[in-house]
Amino acid sequence: MLHSSTLSSLLQRSFGKNAAFIGLQASRKNSNCHCKALLKQNQIITFGERQNFMASTQPKDQMHFCPKCGGRSFPFEGKKFQCDSCDFTLYINSSCAVAALILNEKGELLLSRRKFAPLEGTLDLPGGFVDPMESAEEAIRREIKEELNLEIVKLDFFCSVPNEYIFKGLSYYTTDITFICKVDSFTNMHVMDDISEALFIQPLEIDLKEVGAISMKKIIQQFQQHYITELQ
């Protein structure tokens, strides 16, 4: 997790001395009471919280046959499946996903709207899954190009958040790695791939209730908390 004391220098390195703090300077016009009220309003997520999905979506309740030999005795033992017939072992590990925090020259955060299920129509941070044998840095550059036609010229690690992602009735565990990114220009930006809309919102004006994924709520909330710290 990024410490709040480093956020100012990180934003300055990523977006430039002037552009990085336009949003902060504008937000300083609000009172500290307003900032605290906003933070309290959006404190609907705690970092120790896990998603409470129906047990039927868990791999142990959905996977009943060994994928190697087709055996029917394929019990789940803590973190893995172990086939009683051929001794094949299948571990349930976390997959890797990436997300981008991108600010424009006004200090507004770039959000996308999900085009398809799951969580169709909700707000999201642009990003996606890391492909096999691809680094997280390569993945975020590729995803931002595929979704928004933007070229990332600089990125810095912000935080990582665990997530449970349900797709077609099965839970996938992910680790969502987030970067603060700078792009060369927004001139040629247009939505593609699996997003229906791209929009810029001041970080402190984002309503977390409109954000679909639990991990994205946590990431944005963490960014808001650091942002508010800079105002005080």
* SS (HEC) of the chain: CCCHHHHHHHHHHHHCCCHHHHHHHHHCCCCHHHHHHHHHHHCCCCCCCCCCCCHHHCHHHHCCCCCCCCCCCCCEECCEEECCCCCCEEECCCEEEEEEEEECCCCCEEEEEECCCCCCCCEECCEEECCCCCCHHHHHHHHHHHHHCCCEEEEEEEEEEEEEEEECCEEEEEEEEEEEEEECCCCCCCCCCCEEEEEEECHHHCCHHHECCHHHHHHHHHHHHHHHHHHC
Q: How confident is the model at residue 50 (pLDDT cuts 50, 70, 90)?
A: very low
Correct CATH for 4-53+94-231 of 3.30.360.10, 3.50.50.60, 3.90.79.10, 2.60.40.10? 3.90.79.10
Q: Please report, for the chain, the start and end positions of each structural domain, with discontinuous segments joined by +.
A: 4-53+94-231, 63-91
Q: pLDDT tens digits for 70-109?
A: 999 999 998 999 999 999 999 999 999 999 999 999 999 9
pTM over 0.85: no
Tell me the pLDDT of the chain averaged across its residues: 84
Q: How confident is the model at residue 56 (pLDDT cuts 50, 70, 90)?
A: confident
Q: How confident is the model at residue 226 (pLDDT cuts 50, 70, 90)?
A: confident
Stretch 210-218: mean pLDDT, rounded? 96
Q: What is the pLDDT of residue 97?
A: 98
